[in-house]
Amino acid sequence: MTGVVRRLRVSRVRWAAVRRALRPRAWRAVLRPRAWRAALRVLRPRYPRPGRRGVRRWLPSPRQTLLAFCWALALLAGLIGYGYARTQIPADLNAFATQQDNVYYWADGTEMARVGPVDRQSMPLSRIPKSLQGAVLAAENASFYTDSGISLRGLTRAVKAMATGGEAQGGSTITQQYVKNVYLSQSRTLSRKLTEMFLAVKLDRKLSKDQILDGYLNTSWFGRGAYGVQRAAKAYYGKDVSQLTVSESALLAAVLKGAGMFDPALSPANHKRAVDRWSWVLDRMVQTGHLSAAARRAITVFPEPQPPPRPAGLGGQTGYLVDTARAYVSAHSGISDADFDRGGYQIWTTFEKPRVTALATAVQGRLAALDPAARAADRDVRVGAASVAPDGRILALYGGPDYVKQGFDDANITIVPVGTVYAPFVYAAGLRDGVQLTRDAPRTPVTPGTLYDGDDKVAVRTPEGPYWSRDGKIVRVANDGGRSWGTIPLGKAVAEGVNTAVVQLGMDVGIDRVRRASVDAGLLPDSGFAEQVPQFSLGTATPSPIRVAGAYATFAAHGTHTDPYSVLRVTRDGDLAPLRTPVVTHPFTPQVAAGVTTALDRGAARRGLAGTSPDNTSAWYAGWTPGASTAVALFRINPKTQQTEPLTGTTGSRPHEHTGSTFPAAIWSTYAAATG
């Protein structure tokens, strides 16, 4: 009770001092140090707080908390006001007229290609269809005509969408995006974001909404090098913007979110994302009143755009190299795709021109033996190949016959089963992790000399006994040509491609550990890994030739893996642009790597392995010389379904023969001989 009374007295004394200091006749006294000290004693927190014990002595009172909040709010308001007053609308727009080409260089520093400039053409708002305006407003900023240039509700919605993983409009208004396009850089910093917001409010007060929307639609990036809706309409549909349908308008609005992710022509994954967002934009147009429900129900067919135009000067293999390098810059730098398209960058690649030429010559020389006019099996045959240095540099790749004729890059294709060139990963998993022959027993190490049953159609076993398929049969594996090898050392079984021994090793190691070893070696986690059944060890995964070459390079680098990379550095105006370095890991010991390289030794400092997929839809050869690891994939693609088809009969081979030991191996050997 005494403590309460004491605190009340102290409080009354403090407030009395404040009241006296605020009396009119006391203003002169306010300037005196004594008055300031009296006021500060009231406002200043007292720690430890008198009359409290324990942690409560250090906790602020409700009055102190409220006072601190008010001070913080006042400070924030002052800072915002100061920033707003200091921010001025720039006199000039971004220098679109001075945009330059992006220049790509070979590894030796000589020029490889120039790409650019960007494609742009302004179009007055009166000629832009209302359907396109409505689609953009629905997708990007439904409250555009009523907001003040910024939208706190939009920012809140964007944060909520990020937290829940849902689909929603972006946090920036159209005014903010226009400000970013024409006045600011594309960098993502707090200071740039605050400046963007201040400018958006000032611009909203200076220009009409129609003027802002006109500027936004004519400066936004739609991918394919196109800025503005007019060039976007030409790039995607080959028509004037005024001729776009509602459905086509919805796709262009969808692409605004990011052409690298939503241009449907770039990849199957992009196509799916584009269809989903196109449908969402149409639904949003109904919600925002820009499209009737009946008209929405009538739109059921996705408006497929025309293929992207092929820039001049990118014929042969050059276009594939440029696409690979650009994709690497997009994924590993802070440069946005829109900013990159504005040009002025110098991209120094890892590609070595002599190797690219040698690889293309080796592939095309072998493919000349095909006769598609006489043999149906020789039609639609394609090759993807890549050569990667032990330190991860992509030295060469073969993406197709000519970038202008076939834009899809077969060096990056991910629908072709890797086949039995997957065996070294099974072997590496066994050497690293050992095997488990009895359930719950300790794992047993294996060596290259560990013996396995190599007979044809031997039953696959688990620690509990034979492996039974879902149809109630014991699973048996066939060797190529039906050959039985008898008891065979593991190292030789891998080198000779003995399927029965490799599959049993995979079962003994554990399919999950085999998968992990291949990912550790360099295959991507989403490399089309199929169901984890015995056949998994025969290469049902679908990694790209670049990734297979990079994974084989891990063994050549004594167990050290470096993610494949195609760009050494990027500069602009002489300054280095930020570029993340490739990831380096050490998944295998030198002893494990040596075990794999010894098994694949072909003499003359060359190590490699030929292989085919179980369904004969692909044939591979992968291996390395001292300077590079190279993977070559041969396959057929049905042009209508875009799915792989069997190679049976290709090059005139008999029905029971596989092509894997002929074409890919010959291509690899020719290339290796030319490059040393």
DSSP secondary structure string for all residues of 41-95: HHHS--SSPTT--GGGGTSPPHHHHHHHHHHHHHHHHHHHHHHHHH----SS---
Mean pLDDT of 431-440: 92
**Which range, 56-60, 183-187, 215-219, 335-339, has the best average confidence (pLDDT)?**
215-219
Mean pLDDT of 663-671: 93
Cβ proximity of 119 and 235 under 8 Å: yes
Lookup: tokens for 549: 């070459």
If one compares 34 and 389, the residue with the highest pLDDT of the two is 389
Mean pLDDT of 351-377: 92
pLDDT at 47: 60
Mean pLDDT of 336-341: 80
**Which range, 42-51, 121-130, 382-391, 654-663, has the best average confidence (pLDDT)?**
382-391
Tens digits of residue pLDDT in 205-258: 778 889 889 888 988 888 887 888 988 998 899 998 999 999 999 999 999 988
Tens digits of residue pLDDT in 475-490: 999 998 899 999 999 9
Mean pLDDT of 428-439: 94
| Residue spans per domain, the chain | 2-86, 117-298, 421-509
Tens digits of residue pLDDT in 271-329: 999 999 999 999 999 999 999 999 999 999 999 999 887 666 788 999 999 999 999 99
Lowest mean pLDDT among 175-184, 223-232, 257-266: 175-184
> How far is the CA of 542 from the CAs of 112, 477, 511, 529, in angstroms?
31, 21, 16, 7
Q: What DSSP character marks residue 627?
A: T
Mean pLDDT of 468-476: 89
pLDDT at 5 over 50: no
CA distance 209 to 534: 64
User: Within its chain, how far is the Cα of 508 from the centroid?
Assistant: 35
Cβ proximity of 628 and 674 under 8 Å: no
Tens digits of residue pLDDT in 525-551: 988 888 889 999 999 999 999 999 999
Domain spanning 117-298, CATH class: mainly alpha
At 8, the pLDDT band (50, 70, 90 cuts) reads: very low
Mean pLDDT of 145-162: 63
pLDDT at 175: 78
Cβ proximity of 661 and 610 under 8 Å: yes
Furthest C-alpha separation in the chain: 113
CA distance 218 to 216: 5
pLDDT at 597 over 90: yes
Tens digits of residue pLDDT in 122-131: 788 988 999 9
At 4, the pLDDT band (50, 70, 90 cuts) reads: very low
Tens digits of residue pLDDT in 368-408: 888 888 888 888 999 999 999 999 999 999 999 999 888 77
Mean pLDDT of 568-579: 89
pLDDT at 532: 87
pLDDT at 309: 74
CA distance 283 to 650: 48
